Amino acid sequence: MVGFSVFSCERWDELTGLDPSERAYLDYAGFAPVDPRVLAVMRPFLEAGIGNPSAPHSLGTEARESLDAAHAKVGRLCGGAPSGVVFTSGATEANNLAVKGTVLAARNRAGARVIVSAVEHISTMRAARALESFGATVVVAPVDEHGRVDPTRIRDAVTDDTVLISIGAACGEIGTLQPLLEIGRIARRAGVAFHVDAVGALGRVSLSVETMGIDLLSLSSNDIYGPPGAGALWVRPGMVLEPLVVGADQEAGHRSGTENVPGLVGLGVAAELIRTEGAHGESVRLAALRDRLREGLLAEIPDCRLTGSPTERLPHHLSVALPDVSSDSVLLDLDVAGIAASTGSTGGTPPRAGSHVLRAIGCTPGEAEGALCFTLGRWSTIGDVDAVLDRLPLIVSRLRSLSAIASR
């Protein structure tokens, strides 16, 4: 089995009897390793003298130029103007700025209407719900059994009071891609702002703010192998947002506070790398590994069911439901075996039966209780996939046997 050394732990071999290099990491959606090439570019900004980007001296000018370059790189990845890039602390802040900032800046914010899908990330959902205290109305569009929203549902929900449509490019729990092009056309015809949470999808599937009529797009640095604690919101030039963080008007007045120059430089490098990598078949490689894992699990584990779309899904994402087992127990056994996976819920919400995503697609409580998610990445190998295929069927069989004994 081939792993990635960034996850080494001094006591790992004592705890599990496994060498750190023998671990398989399949939780890239939860936390992606920072690419060494990104770290190499960040290091001088962390170790050497660097100025405040707003300072008038030469060190400040150098910092500003580095931030300008990062804006350009992120803009290229989004397919939009660099001037539209607003740096944030991550995608959660970007989602809040997009949703709250748009509605609070609207003339009719007291009666504003916001449309979201039933499988949005919790940060988008809660940002929208928070606006109800200002008199806004939140419309939740249903999804089908694969978690995909019907564009006609969005079209029919639009009224004269609608100021924002917020639909994630892909659902992080089940990997389903949404029909952004069609929804973008609906938003454009109606004159409604269109926000897309692009985490998981940007750099892995075709996605461009100009081509798809997107007005606001959220992204996370760590999702694309950059440093954690950095992100961005692309804002269509000319759009007015109410800032959530006020102060000295950095980031064109959208987000105040001295910029995290090392982290944002790293985000820029990560954006450039994943954009370039996307043109060289990385998504095809990951999709092949994902399909190998899917076919093996469906064949070897009785009653294993794919969640999310079988075709319109992220290339690096596999999610399944395993009735009659608890995902907590499965993940613990996998961890002891040197395999890291997740339930798919990374936003702080209660996993499994408490997941609004699994409820929206009609999972039974038993299926939701056994929900698992495997996400692959830049350092994933066939060995990692085969490690799961070797261990997981045995783990599920053992846990089901124990459950059957306990229920007698």
pLDDT at 354: 72
pLDDT of residue 405 exceeding 90, the answer is: no
For residues 331 and 341, the answer to whether their CB atoms sit within 8 Å is yes
What is the mean predicted confidence (pLDDT) over 152-173? 97
Last residue of some domain: 278, 293, 310?
Answer: 278
User: Are 88 and 236 part of one and the same domain?
Assistant: yes
Of 5-9, 105-109, 199-203, 211-215, least confident by mean pLDDT is 5-9
Per-residue pLDDT tens over the stretch 362-389: 999 999 999 999 999 999 999 999 999 9
**CATH code for the domain in which residue 143 is found:** 3.40.640.10
User: Are 40 and 156 part of one and the same domain?
Assistant: yes
Beta bridge partners of 342: 373
What is the mean predicted confidence (pLDDT) over 238-266? 93
Q: Which of 255, 230, 261 is closest to 241 using CA atoms?
A: 255
Per-residue pLDDT tens over the stretch 54-77: 899 998 999 999 999 999 999 999
User: Are 253 and 365 part of one and the same domain?
Assistant: no
User: Are 17 and 63 part of one and the same domain?
Assistant: no
Last residue of some domain: 233, 258, 278?
Answer: 278
User: Are 289 and 321 part of one and the same domain?
Assistant: yes
User: Are 184 and 81 part of one and the same domain?
Assistant: yes
Structural domain range at position 385: 5-30+281-406
pLDDT of residue 7 exceeding 60, the answer is: no
Per-residue pLDDT tens over the stretch 314-333: 999 999 999 999 999 999 99
pLDDT of residue 11 exceeding 70, the answer is: no
**CATH code for the domain in which residue 374 is found:** 3.90.1150.10
CA distance 312 to 185: 19
pLDDT of residue 16 exceeding 70, the answer is: no
pLDDT at 349: 46
User: Are 68 and 16 part of one and the same domain?
Assistant: no
pLDDT at 407: 64
Enumerate helices (H) and strands (E) in the chain, giving the number of each.
13, 12
User: Are 342 and 306 part of one and the same domain?
Assistant: yes
Q: Any idea what DSSP says for residue 352? A: G
What is the mean predicted confidence (pLDDT) over 96-118? 94
User: Are 318 and 388 part of one and the same domain?
Assistant: yes
How many angstroms separate the Cα of 198 from the Cα of each of 13, 95, 177, 403?
37, 10, 10, 40
- The number of folded domains in the chain is 2
User: Are 127 and 234 part of one and the same domain?
Assistant: yes
Give the pTM: 0.92
Structure tokens at 230: 């950095």
Of 18-22, 63-67, 178-182, 231-235, least confident by mean pLDDT is 18-22
User: Are 261 and 292 part of one and the same domain?
Assistant: no
CA distance 390 to 337: 10
pLDDT of residue 15 exceeding 60, the answer is: no
User: Are 289 and 237 part of one and the same domain?
Assistant: no
Structure tokens at 104: 């609070």
CA distance 318 to 173: 9
CA distance 179 to 169: 8
Last residue of some domain: 278, 307, 323?
Answer: 278
